[in-house]
């Protein structure tokens, strides 16, 4: 399999096997007008298998989404074919408009202008709860 090197863009690496499509969806990568490669079940020395997403464009990505879906992922910024920055992403303390409250009575579900805000309440179990009604995110 051949996937071209990126000249200017982003490589999201060390994604847990099978989670790349969720990231693709939540980051809205289907809306991009550039090459996006998803590599599933690639060999990894540390994890056995991993997924990789390569985006051939210099665009902003929501790091909170990445940290929510799969903390520990690496985000590599490529400029002129060279790695210029590497970040390891951790779980964000708050998520705003990344996930949505499923409680139909919650104020953020009834008031359209209100942001859906979730707080990290249990880091070990990766539990986020709605800031307004404390409904657990799924």
Per residue in 21-66, pLDDT (tens digit) is 999 999 999 999 999 999 999 998 887 899 999 999 989 999 999 9
Alpha-carbon span 126 to 84, nearest angstrom: 30
Where helices occur in the chain by DSSP H, the ranges are 20-26, 63-69, 107-110
Check pLDDT > 80 for residue 130. Answer: yes
According to DSSP, the residues that pair with 48 across neighbouring strands are: 44
Of all residues in the chain, the percent with pLDDT exceeding 70 is 98
Check pLDDT > 80 for residue 3. Answer: no
pLDDT of residue 78: 94
Binning pLDDT at 50, 70 and 90, where does residue 1 land?
low
Q: What domains appear along the chain, each with residue ranges and CATH number?
A: 9-88 (3.30.70.140), 94-130 (no CATH)
Q: Comparing C-alpha atoms, which of 8, 10, 13, 9 is closest to residue 89?
A: 13
Q: pTM score, two decimals?
A: 0.85
């Amino acid at each position: 399999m051949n996937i071209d090197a990126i000249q200017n863009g982003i490589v999201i690496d060390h994604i847990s096997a099978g989670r790349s499509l969720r990231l693709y969806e939540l980051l809205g990568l289907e809306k991009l007008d550039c090459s996006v490669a998803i590599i599933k079940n690639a060999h990894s020395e540390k994890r056995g298998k991993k997924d990789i997403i390569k985006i051939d464009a210099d665009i902003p990505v929501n790091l909170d989404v990445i940290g929510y879906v799969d903390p520990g992922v690496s985000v590599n910024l490529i400029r002129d074919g060279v790695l210029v920055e590497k970040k390891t992403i951790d779980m964000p303390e708050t998520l705003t408009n990344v996930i949505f409250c499923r409680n139909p009575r919650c104020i953020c579900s009834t008031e359209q202008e209100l942001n859906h805000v979730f707080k990290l309440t249990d880091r070990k179990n990766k539990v986020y709860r709605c800031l307004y009604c404390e409904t657990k995110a799924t």
